Amino acid sequence: MSNAYDLLRSSARDLIAATGIAPATSIQLAEPKQRELADLAFAVFTIAKEQGQPAPAVAVRIADAIQTTGTLFRSVEAAGGFVNFKVDTGALATQLYADIAAAPDAFGHDPSLGAGQTIIVEYSSPNIAKKLHVGSLRTTVIGHSLYEIHKALGYNVIGDNHLGDWGTQFGYLLAAIEDSPTPPWEDAEPVASMMRMYAEFYQASEEDPDKKTRARAWFRKLEEGDVWARSIWQKLVDISMTEFDTIYERLGISFDTTLGESWFEPMLGPLVDDAIAKGVATIEESGAVSVHFDDKYPSCLLRKTDGATLYQTRDAATCIHRWNTYAPTRNVYVVGAEQRLHFQQVFEFVRRMGYTEIADCSVHVKFGMVTGANGERFKTRKGNVIFADEILDEAVRRATEKIMEQVESGRSEVSQPDDIVRVAEAIGLGAVIYFDLHQGPERNIAFDWEKILSFDGNTGVYLQYMYARCCNIVRKAGGVPDNVDSSVLTTDDERALVVQLSRITGAVRDAGARYAPSAIANWTFELAKDFARFYDRCPVLGADDPAVRDARVKLCDAVATGIKSGLGLLGIAAPDRM
Ligand code: ARG
């Protein structure tokens, strides 16, 4: 596949190889931090050493032997032990515009990389009868972005929402509902009510062993298919899903498969028996079944004395089911770092059961905790634990305030109430999503409302604002001009912008390889900053020369495409007016 990114690198490599001074296999290209020096650089130290020559002399010989006429490069210079390439802005821009025209909604994507391969991205996976919390929001947002990134890399991606819809907690809830005069679904906030009922009953059961026995009995009945237990459980699932779906819809997320833990229940008995037969699991004196991992990990249970299975058992069955169904190249779990040991045990158990392929390609993408700005527990204004819907609402409320300020001071492009609502939603959600994704998933996040909604800085709204500005320029220019001559783009600011645009393909590949949406966030932020610098120093609509004006308008349009593509891979909307 020929895109600007690959062409630039293959062209530099070919030019170097053609000198005969460096063998093609030894040519590694780097993107120098000091961008005024070079757009691509080749460090000659290794080959100079092999040839027993001083590096600066080798660099000079290579640079002198390269002719850039008719290439994507404007100049090649030696500096110390480096051969520095600077791009020809016009030539690279022309290639970029061809890339964009070929796939306007897929700029920077590389569908060849994952072609023919399946990857499972399991994310969100909330617990039924509990509200989505800050951690749920993280897995949802990170997972959604990884989903989009892998789609952009051409994989057949299966987004899997592995609902926590099974386990003894449902016994407690059933017992609580049996006792209660009003069921949770008669409450205006049914899921919150389920949480409360569970918590109260659980607490009471700590002092009342009878309650515990009843709760266990109810879970057993549920497992055995008791009609009442099943019907109430189904109601809990349906009501919770309705609430979750509201949030998913708001975030523009849908899943390809939503099999809860309960779905795997029929596979667990045979799995445990098989594990015993294979000698992977041991029956303890108590009758419980466990797996011992020698010194590698602590042991874990597959079945309790009373016959109940565990979270681990269900995850192992899920993992094997995924292998049998999809034979994926990768099986990715976006789950909090605190479940590290759990996944280590599950993957190791699955491996010992003989499913080495899925064990090898299973990855736990761990994410850190979320706290309030002060590093303490993240709370609502009233001081309660904050849930996902409240975070989104608060972000949108604050975004609305900001837009209203803009509207009142005449600095906004939107004024109709519907538009304000739509843009505020995009900014509020974008702020929350970007704040999460611009840092690596493993980082802990301190949630600072002021920071996340700042108009200047590394924020979602800054990027959205730059996008809208590009769109505004193109609108004012009366659209993108035809037949632009990009050779008139000669400033360093224009060159930097074009080079940064070309790097999108590298960012998308890197994000996929490292499961790091932050690579996309960083690329988009750098692009927006380059655009801001360019816009500050290079008049666009006010350019004296009409050819320069046209070329710059076209460049602004490409920047808009780039920012929108980056934001899209992060799961963030880009309104074209703000
Ligand atoms: N439902 C679990 C929780 O909320 C997370 C599930 C993670 N995924 C998995 N395959 N275990 O803690």
User: Alpha-carbon dihedral of residues 121, 123, 128, 132, nearest 10 degrees?
Assistant: -170
Fold observed for domain 388-570: Isoleucyl-tRNA Synthetase; Domain 1 (1.10.730)
Whether 527 shows a pLDDT value over 60: the answer reads yes
- For Cα atoms 220, 223, 229, give the angle at the middle one, nearest 5 degrees: 80
Burial 130-165 (b: 16+ CB within 10 A, else e): bbbbbbbbbbbbbbbbbbbbbbbbbbbbbbbbbbbb
**Candidates 162, 312, 366: which one to mutate for ligand 1, based on the most atoms within 8 Å of Cβ?**
162
Q: What pLDDT shows up at residue 544?
A: 96
Tell me which of 54-68, 223-237, 308-322, 378-392 is least confident.
378-392
**Candidates 339, 343, 346, 387: which one to mutate for ligand 1, based on the most atoms within 8 Å of Cβ?**
339
Q: Taking residues 235-245, what's their average pLDDT?
A: 98
CA 407 to ligand 1 centroid distance, Å: 43
Coarse DSSP helix, strand, coil percentages of the chain, rounded to the nearest 5 percent: 60, 10, 30
Q: Looking at the chain, which residues constitute the CATH 3.30.1360.70 domain(s)?
A: 4-87
Whether 384 shows a pLDDT value over 90: the answer reads no
Contact predicate 174/216, CB 8 Å: no
Paired with 364 in beta bridges are: 333
Question: Which CATH code fits 4-87?
Answer: 3.30.1360.70
Q: Looking at the chain, which residues constitute the CATH 1.10.730.10 domain(s)?
A: 388-570
Tell me which of 21-25, 198-202, 324-328, 477-481 is least confident.
21-25
Specify the pTM: 0.96
CA 469 to ligand 1 centroid distance, Å: 41
Q: Taking residues 518-545, what's their average pLDDT?
A: 98
Measured from CB, residues less than 6 Å from any atom of ligand 1 are 122, 125-127, 162, 164, 315, 333, 335
Q: What pLDDT shows up at residue 172?
A: 97
Q: Is the dihedral of CA 15, 16, 21, 26 positive or negative?
A: negative
User: 359 by DSSP, 3-state: which?
Assistant: helix
Contact predicate 517/142, CB 8 Å: yes
Secondary structure of 239-303 in HEC code, one letter for each residue: HHHHHHHHHHHHCCCCCCECCCHHHHHHHHHHHHHHHHHCCCCEECCCCCEEEEECCCEEEEEEE
Whether 49 shows a pLDDT value over 80: the answer reads yes
Report the nearest-CA residue for atom 5 of ligand 1.
125
CA of 343, closest atom in ligand 1: 11
- 52-71 pLDDT, tens digit per residue, is 999 999 999 999 999 999 99
Tell me which of 50-64, 107-121, 378-392, 394-408 is least confident.
378-392
Identify the band that residue 408 occupies on the pLDDT scale cut at 50, 70 and 90. very high
Whether 1 shows a pLDDT value over 80: the answer reads no
DSSP run (H or E) holding 147: helix 134-152
